[in-house]
Structure 1
Amino acid sequence: MRGEKLTMRVGWLCLAAVSAGILVFGVVVALFPPAGDAGLYRADGLASAGLGLFGVLIVLVPFRRRERWAWYALWFYPFFWAAHLIGNLPPGDDHIHQVLFIALSLTGLLLPARAFFPPKPSIAA
């Protein structure tokens, strides 16, 4: 039981870090858009902030309650960051954060997977 609590805690902390990173990035871009089309950057920043906020809320409430739908929904993160990495998409040119967020989100989802899919009790005959 203690091991399950630890894996669950590590899992939700990893996912919360990814969510918070997206939220902070979105707020920064919305408030301080780079040179160019400021309106478009602000809209993207606001959308990113919303994605991060929804992620934080999903992680902190239903994920920690071990609601299976939250586990499935948060699989968006590794696919999102993998698409950014493969497509060479922004933000940034170094892509280190994308690899880090992929690793964090996969750790956050795979480590506590047993909490969402416990083994079925065996029926003794």
Structure 2
Amino acid sequence: MNALQTSRTDDELSRRLAALGHPARIGILRHLACDDGRCCKDVVGVLDLAQSTVSQHLKVLVEAGLVDLSIEGKRSRYCLNRTALAALKVNVESLFSACTAPGCAGAPPHQPE
């Protein structure tokens, strides 16, 4: 793998970190962490955002695999995908370890110009 290629893990890490790139989404994760599942209305009740905005943020989190969606009758129920969050933690820790190691073990070798 050269410096411009990415691994599947890097692609997944990038996608999931991008999904966390809005404070409302981080707030949603914190709210969902307190329970086994919530409907969109419950999340709207704790955030100062419109229902349509919360729905869009939930959609981004579901698409990134950080939140699971289940349909119960006419209701949509959202819960954390704790397995995906644990994998994200491991991948972020691995990235930081590689980037802070002496000689930055995660960097490609320097190519003279």
TM-score normalised over the length of structure 1: 0.30
Higher helix share: 1
**Structure that is richer in strand per residue:** 2
